[in-house]
Amino acid sequence: MDSSQVLKGVLDVAVLSVVSDDDCYGYELVKRLRELGLTDVAEASVYGTLRRLNATGLLSSYMVASEDGPHRKYYILTAAGKKSLAQGLMQWNELVTAMQAVARIAKTKEKKNG
């Protein structure tokens, strides 16, 4: 299975979830997603997702001066983003439940044939 295709489908929920925990800037978000196990996440995908979620009002942003380099754009979850995150997590849980049922069918068939 191509995990990058699965990641594309859940990246919005992952980004919203991490930002809901604490405001963060782009590269920090990439690092946190990778630390959480999404090791295949591409920086370009995360930055594109941040721009899109910001443009649609699910995230807002603010600039913070940095002594280490250029200013950093931090992202924060909006009220609409919180609602979207709750809905996305509910849909994800429904999908996980369904896929677990599908996997049980495959395991049962393996035992019968194996």
> What digits encode the pLDDT tens for the residues 22-75?
999 999 999 999 999 999 899 999 999 999 999 999 999 999 998 888 899 999
Distance, in Å, from the CA atom of 66 to the CA atom of 97, rounded to the nearest integer, reads 44
Q: For position 42, what pLDDT does the model report?
A: 92
Domains of the chain with CATH codes: 3-113 (1.10.10.10)
Distance, in Å, from the CA atom of 86 to the CA atom of 103, rounded to the nearest integer, reads 26
Q: For position 114, what pLDDT does the model report?
A: 60
| Strand, coil or helix: 97 | helix
Q: Count of residues for the chain?
A: 114
> What digits encode the pLDDT tens for the residues 69-92?
889 999 999 999 999 999 999 999
Distance, in Å, from the CA atom of 3 to the CA atom of 64, rounded to the nearest integer, reads 34
| Predicted model pTM | 0.85
Average pLDDT over residues 98-102: 92
